[in-house]
Amino acid sequence: MTKGKKIILPVTILECPSMKILSVRFYKNGLPVKEVIAENLDKDLKRKIKISKEKHSINDIKEGYDDIRIICYSQVRKTGLKKTPDLSEIGLSGTLDEKMSFVKENLGKEISVSDIFKQGQLVDFRGLTKGHGLSGPVKRFGITLKSHKSEKGVRRPGSLGPWHPARVTFRAPMAGQLGMFNRISYNNSIIHIDKHSENKKLENISNFGDVKTDYIIVRGSIQGPAKRQLLATFPLRKTKKQEKKKFEFIELR
């Protein structure tokens, strides 16, 4: 029914400050063998995080490793939200020579989101969900409310378990922590990628403020509240159904 017509999509705007490589780790049999700290790091970085004083050069490392990973940090100071950067260890795809060439090309340079992802591509997001604190078993596990004539409470389980074993097992729904869980949102399609400029401004976003760096617009919702950091990666298990969906970004209301 909507063929050839404009449709309105709910989207999420994600601010993506540029990233830099902090260090390069070389692995052998799943264990780190050597780590090379990048030169010409940001001046304020040493005040915020601990950096090893050992200095090695990438050109000095020839053999003795079978995998290369990079530790990146985001330049969150540009967003105006906070000052301490977010660190994350990221694996690289390709052969060892391709990984090494990528590291040498981008060491000391700013890596933008547009250098990695393209419009219309699928992407996974890893991060924490919203925190709800101490919650009861009805909200936490979705158990049914008991009759209003119940003797010992309506919003609690009818039984905590049998006489034997003479203890409450972990299977009994009880009140406890809800939210702040590490979750992955799979196969989110990127509708639009753009850079902050004078002509294209995103301002006065509810509970966030102004977008001051590069940003991406993703279809649907993403886990977590506003201003919480997320890690965007290539799709781990992309599906043909999600890849077929193509959206043309026309206007923002």
State how far the Cα of 190 lies from the Cα of 246, in Å rounded to an integer.
10
Q: Indicate the pLDDT class of residue 65, thresholds 50, 70 and 90.
A: confident
Do the beta carbons of residue 114 and residue 193 sit within 8 Å?
Answer: yes
pLDDT at position 199 over 80: no
Burial grade of 154 (CB within 10 A; 0-12, 13-18, 19 or more)? exposed
**pLDDT tens per residue across span 230-251:** 999 999 999 999 999 887 766 6
* 53 and 34 co-located in one domain: yes
* 63 and 124 co-located in one domain: no
C-alpha distances (whole Å) from 72 to each of 30, 58, 90, 155, 188 are 20, 16, 7, 46, 23
Strand pairing category for 182-194 and 176-179: unpaired
Residue 163 falls inside a structural domain:
no
Residue-averaged pLDDT of the chain: 89
**pLDDT tens per residue across span 118-156:** 998 999 999 999 999 999 999 999 999 999 999 989 999
- What strands lie across the sheet with 87-91, from one edge to the other? 31-37, 19-28, 67-74, 87-91
Do the beta carbons of residue 49 and residue 74 sit within 8 Å?
Answer: no
Residue 6 falls inside a structural domain:
yes
Q: Which two tokens stand for residue 74?
A: 């985001």
Q: Which two tokens stand for residue 4?
A: 């050839």
The CATH number linked to 69 is: 3.30.1430.10
- Tell me, what's the pLDDT at 17? 93
Total tally of structural domains belonging to the chain:
3
The CATH number linked to 206 is: 2.40.30.10
Q: Report, as an integer, the average pLDDT of 58-81.
A: 86
Residue 168 falls inside a structural domain:
no
Q: Indicate the pLDDT class of residue 46, thresholds 50, 70 and 90.
A: confident
* 29 and 104 co-located in one domain: yes
- Tell me, what's the pLDDT at 37? 85
Q: Indicate the pLDDT class of residue 19, thresholds 50, 70 and 90.
A: very high
- Tell me, what's the pLDDT at 253? 58
